[in-house]
Amino acid sequence: MPNVKISDLDDAAPLADADLAELEQPGEAAGTRSRKVALAILRAYALTSPVNAQSGTSYTLALSDAFRLVTMDNAAANTLIVPKNSVVAFPVGTRIDLGQDGSGQTTIAPVDGDVTIRTPETLKLRKRWAKATLIKRAVDTWDLEGNLEAAP
């Protein structure tokens, strides 16, 4: 689809999930702080709750988790798995907020060495109600920052 403004779209505009929308950061010069985001992600965000509450002991992130809060609510230790790009192709720049709502500690786990998660701390949320954010920086590279357990 050629470049068009949202305000110029009509109800008959043929938009597909793979089409990209360019989002610009307010207050920045045009094109200097923009990101292209698949419409599938924008639709998932707009059509669903901003929170994906999980109660099991393991959960693998899905494309619909982009720009949402994923909470783990279990009394037992639990794992949030970050899949490799070939399985779930989050666009670079995707942010996913994480929360430990239960008393069981949440560990963020990259898939079998195929995914790199960069953080100055451990890959564990510090305590109940702790929050952190994953930011995709490259194809299989994420940054993790937030209320994490201190590195030994």
Tens of pLDDT, residue by residue over 8-61, are 655 555 666 566 666 555 555 555 555 566 666 666 555 556 899 999 999 999
Do 103 and 68 fall within a single domain? yes
Q: How many domains does the chain have?
A: 2
Residues 58, 86 within the same domain: yes
Same domain, yes or no: 11 and 84: no
Question: Which stretch of DSSP H or E encloses residue 45?
Answer: helix 39-47
Global pTM?
Answer: 0.70
Checking if the pLDDT of 1 tops 60, the result is no
Sign of the CA dihedral running 88, 92, 97, 100 = positive
Same domain, 81 and 11: no
CA distances from 110 to 82, 113, 145, 146 (A): 5, 7, 15, 17
Mean pLDDT (the chain) is 83
* Statement to judge: residues 37 and 68 lie in one domain: no
Whether residue 136 is predicted with pLDDT greater than 80 in this model: the reply is yes
pLDDT at residue 71 is higher than 60: yes
Specify the CATH number for the domain of residue 105: 2.60.120
